[in-house]
Structure 1
Amino acid sequence: MNAFSGKTAIVTGASSGIGRASAEALARAGFKVFGTSRKMIKDVPKGGTMLVCDVTDGASVDALVSTVLSQTGRIDLLVNNAGIGMLGGAEESSVAQVQALFDVNLFGVMRMTNAVLPLMRRHGEGRIINIGSILGLVPAPYSAHYSAAKHALEGYSESLDHEVRTFNIRVSVIEPAYVRTVFDQNGIEPDSVLKEYDRARAGLDALLRDVMPKADRPEVVADVVVKAATDARPRRRYTAGKAARQVSMLRRFAPSEIFDKNLRKQFRLPV
């Protein structure tokens, strides 16, 4: 029998992209998987069950957890993947818009985590995997608010891991770079677009057109999710994909001036 048969996993934002690939990979690994999306979908991930959940709504989160518990009696793994993107100059977004971004990308994670932790503590074990970003390690231009949310997620996750390790619960962050999904197309457009950033916006659009066809497939990240979920000694951070590993290494070992210069060059900004 598969070592993970009988274990239950919840994957938020599982209708497409990384979430869908992760749900299917975990099902293949033996988990009983419940994926979530804000609206019910017909094309469910292979091997999984889809449920409706809005991570910005506490009542919706509680209803999801209750439904899963009623069917399985346990929750062993939570993959917090639901999120939205936002690209643009930092001053192009209102505080209200940034709050909406944080409500999904950070506070949504906290709502889901708070809902499952008491169950994991009573059970005496559990794993929580948060889908972060290499931008949570290396901020890039025109992603100030998204990077801020992912930086906050990194700090929250590491602190939480220290707190719950006593209960045999571990928390990990997955850090992908560019991934071929519809994530960017579904992101928030700045609500106060400024003409002063038009040239930079055009350069960013050109960069994305260049890199996205060569970006990692969601399955690359999903494989790392399964690794984090099944490692006997899970790490707090996992990079996902070649580009993310390279950026992480450069951030650690390259002189800051050289790293800064290369980053600006990549984003086609004056060096």
Structure 2
Amino acid sequence: MGQNLELDGRVAVVTGASRGIGRAIAERLASAGATVVLAARSLSTSTDGLEGTIEEAVAAITARGGKAVAKACDVEDAASRAALIADTVADFGRIDILVNNAGRAMMNPAFVLNLANELSQAQQYLLGPLDLIINALPHMKAQGQGWIVNLGSSSAYPIDGYKDGDKLMSPGHAYYGALKAAVHRLTAGLAGELQEANIAVSAVAPVAAIATPGVTALGIVTPETAHWFEKVEHIAEATLALVTLPAKERTGVIAFSYQYLDTIGRSTMSLDGKTVIEARG
């Protein structure tokens, strides 16, 4: 693992950690010394047909000397959400960091919108994360500190009137972008409310997109769109940056991966924390 153990002694929960952004964040937090609880709907099998499980992710982390465990959690189920937080505290005595990453985008265009599907998306991206926060807050308050990071999106950017060709106006972005805008607003509001409790609430997002298995399954990763995609290491590093300094110094930030790293002058490291991917002053 990496030598700079900024999170030594802390316990982090990362949802949707079987692959893609969630797994990358879990690996990077573990490389910085955190004990990481990786959560997904299933431990050893894929429930959505995509490659990757949290047991495989845990094995990769522990093989490098990191500390990680797998716990099943369906973010659409209230009992499962409550159990994830309760079990983490029971096993490790605390929860310092909560990363709300779980969710698989449908990106349904207007004529394909279906209320049942969209309610499921709201559970994954907004209501489930909110409930996990609600469950974690009493423990963080009792500890005297905590860090919450929600996964945002460039789809949440404000739209100032219709512009032909605007990526934010492309099919599938209306509802997805609305959910992510709500995530950004919830993040900012909670940051203000929880600052005095020394609990930071921030969001991290790709500048454009990351070619995760879920995104690839949508069929939008093509040679023509390649310039939109960025390295997953950037968003993992930005997440680590959000949870290293004291809570009051990092709260309320909406961090757009490498742009945020440019601003704070932090280099992007490999997920094991050993190699510089992109150096910054």
Fold-level similarity (TM above 0.5): yes
Match of 1:148 in 2: 178
Which residue identity lines up with residue 147 of structure 2 in the other structure?
Answer: R
Please list, as runs of the form range in 1=range in 2, the aligned pairs for 1:42-57 lying within 5 A after superposition.
Answer: 42-45=55-58, 46=61, 47=66, 48-57=68-77
Among 2, 10, 13, the alignment partner of 1:10 is 13
Following superposition, the deviation at residue 211 of structure 1 comes to: 2.1
* Local SS of the residue matching 1:63: helix
Superposition RMSD in Å: 2.3
* Identical residues among aligned pairs (%): 31
Match of 1:162 in 2: 192
Please list, as runs of the form range in 1=range in 2, the aligned pairs for 1:107-126 lying within 5 A after superposition.
Answer: 107-126=127-146
Among 86, 95, 103, the alignment partner of 1:66 is 86
Among 28, 31, 34, the alignment partner of 2:31 is 28
Match of 1:196 in 2: none
1:220 and 2:234 matched: yes
Match of 1:128 in 2: 148
1:229 and 2:243 matched: yes
Higher-Rg member (1/2): 1
Unaligned runs of 5+ in 1: 188-204, 246-271
Judge conservation of contact 2:238–2:261 (CA < 8 Å) in 1: no
Match of 1:251 in 2: none
* Local SS of the residue matching 1:106: helix
- The separation in 2 between residues aligned to 1:128 and 1:16, in whole angstroms, is 20
Q: How many residues are aligned here?
A: 228
Could you state the TM-score of these two structures normalised by the residue count of structure 2? Answer: 0.75
Judge conservation of contact 2:19–2:57 (CA < 8 Å) in 1: no
1:143-195 residue CA offsets vs partner (Å, 9 max, x unmatched): 111101101101111111111111000100112121021122456xxxxxxxx
- The separation in 2 between residues aligned to 1:231 and 1:95, in whole angstroms, is 41
- The separation in 2 between residues aligned to 1:165 and 1:242, in whole angstroms, is 24
1:171 and 2:201 matched: yes
Unaligned runs of 5+ in 2: 45-54, 159-167, 263-281
Which residue identity lines up with residue 116 of structure 1 in the other structure?
Answer: A
Match of 1:93 in 2: 113
Kindly tell me: are residues 175 and 44 of structure 1, through their superposed partners in 2, closer, same or farther at Cα, counting changes over 3 Å? closer
* Local SS of the residue matching 2:57: coil
Following superposition, the deviation at residue 84 of structure 1 comes to: 1.6
- The separation in 1 between residues aligned to 2:221 and 2:214, in whole angstroms, is 16
Could you state the TM-score of these two structures normalised by the residue count of structure 1? Answer: 0.78
Question: Which stretch of structure 1 is more off in the superposition, 228-237 or 170-179?
Answer: 228-237
Give 1 or 2: higher helix fraction.
Answer: 1
